[in-house]
Amino acid sequence: MSFRDQVRKTVATATEVTKKQTKRAQLEMRANRLESSIRREKTVIGEALHPQLASGELPCELAEVRAALARIEDMEGQLAENEAALGALLGQGADEDARDA
């Protein structure tokens, strides 16, 4: 095999590898976009159903859902406590600012 033939073969192989890697990257990006879209749609469903599930208007016997509802309720309580502490801190700062003026 001549040097030119070896170079052509090497270039052809490199081109094939590059095409395959490009196609793989495109397919992986498409999969990531689709997975992201699926997560967004599931979030929409969850946001729509959460109030009904939390109030009991829409009963659900799935243990996973009940556990998630309990965790959300707990986190909402923690968030309320955090917001109250932040409000108190900001209110306290406003009182000190008024006294300093």
Average pLDDT taken over every residue of the chain = 92
pLDDT tens digits, one per residue of 26-49: 999 999 999 999 999 999 999 999
Classify residue 87 by its DSSP letter.
Answer: H
Domain assignments of the chain as residue spans, ordered by start: 1-59, 63-101
What is residue 4's predicted lDDT score, i.e. its pLDDT? 87
Q: pLDDT confidence of 53, banded at 50, 70, 90? A: very high
What is residue 97's predicted lDDT score, i.e. its pLDDT? 62
pTM recorded for the entire structure: 0.64
* HSE, side-chain direction, 13 A CA sphere, residue 5: 2
What is residue 96's predicted lDDT score, i.e. its pLDDT? 61
- Residue 43, classified by CB atoms within 10 Å of its CB into exposed (0-12), middle (13-18) or buried (19+), is exposed
Contact 82, 101 (CB under 8 A): no
